[in-house]
């Protein structure tokens, strides 16, 4: 299922970078994670391709969000600032529960900066864009949760 998701995103020409716990895993740090965290370019065509692909394979937004709302930068900023939303979560229940979080804030980084620091890591029959170690450390320090700070400690050893 995971490789199918990434193969589909690539086939749909979605500009994304894998971040979060799974990105930490792919850099060689063993750690449990229960979701997939993505940074997605917020240009309208890219968001539309992402949304359409996710719905086509059975994912649905957990929050009551429409495509038109998702496309509006002011709406995404309102969610982030006033509703304290960190991400828009897409879920699928079959064949097993899977969550994909699209982060609304990249800790002050732009998607282009994140993408420039990313690397492609092979995963079965595909290589996927994964946030670089420097970007992961920056984002995890900004999040400041206990697990993120543990990840930072291990990621710094990899540098």
**Can you give the pLDDT at residue 96?**
74
CATH class of the domain at 2-158: alpha beta
**Can you give the pLDDT at residue 16?**
98
Domain ranges in the chain are 2-158
For the chain of 159 residues, list the mean pLDDT of each consecutive stretch of 10.
Answer: 89 97 91 91 97 96 93 94 93 85 94 97 91 96 91 90
Beta strand 36-40 with 98-103 is parallel
**Can you give the pLDDT at residue 91?**
95
CA distances from 103 to 15, 28, 51, 95, 124 (A): 14, 23, 14, 25, 25
**Can you give the pLDDT at residue 1?**
67
Look at residues 127, 159, 156 and name the one whose alpha carbon lies nearest to residue 140.
156
DSSP for residue 35: S
Place of tokens 């097993």: 96
């Amino acid at each position: 299922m995971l490789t199918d998701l990434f193969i589909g995103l690539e086939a749909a020409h979605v500009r994304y970078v894998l971040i979060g716990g799974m990105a930490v895993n792919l850099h060689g740090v063993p750690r449990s994670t229960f979701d997939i965290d993505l940074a997605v370019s917020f240009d309208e065509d890219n968001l539309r391709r992402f949304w359409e692909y996710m719905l086509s394979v059975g994912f649905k937004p957990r929050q009551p969000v429409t495509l038109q709302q998702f496309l509006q930068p002011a709406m995404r900023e309102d969610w982030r600032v006033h509703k304290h939303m960190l991400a828009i979560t897409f879920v699928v229940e079959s064949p097993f529960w899977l969550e994909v979080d699209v982060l609304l804030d990249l800790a002050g980084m732009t998607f282009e900066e994140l993408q420039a620091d990313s690397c492609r890591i092979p995963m079965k029959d595909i290589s996927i864009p994964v946030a670089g170690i420097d970007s992961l450390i920056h984002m995890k320090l900004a999040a400041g949760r206990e697990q993120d700070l543990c990840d930072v400690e291990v990621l710094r050893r990899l540098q």
